[in-house]
Amino acid sequence: MITIRIPTTLRTLTAGESEVQVEGATVAEALANLEAAHPGFRERLFDDEGALRRFVNVFVADDDVRYLDGVDTAVAEGGEISIIPAVAGG
């Protein structure tokens, strides 16, 4: 199992849970299983072309997947994925 850490802004999709356990060998598989268990994540995380939205950061452990293999980044059993929305303001 993989733990996905859910940001406060998306916890309405998980009935308030801050962490969800899913199966998956890659970020894409884990996020697909997250969507299957808690519908609504796909439209918030991915654009119409299937790429991660600009304002959504996804980390495996402490590494941003954009600097690894994107959603094809491998996740070890017992690993952790964090979804972190970008913060803007001044």
Q: Give residue 89's pLDDT.
A: 58
Q: What is the pLDDT of residues 52-87, one digit of tens each?
A: 999 999 999 999 999 999 999 999 999 999 999 887
Residue 8 and residue 85 in contact, taking contact as beta carbons nearer than 8 Å:
no
Separation CA 56–CA 23 (nearest Å): 21
Taking the model in full, what pTM does it have?
A: 0.92
Distance of CA 66 to the CA centre of its chain: 12
Give, in words, the CATH class of 2-85: alpha beta
Strands 2-5, 80-85: pairing kind: parallel
Q: Which tokens go with 32?
A: 């697909």
User: Which amino acid would we find at residue 34?
Assistant: L
Q: Is the pLDDT of residue 88 over 80?
A: no
Q: Give residue 86's pLDDT.
A: 84
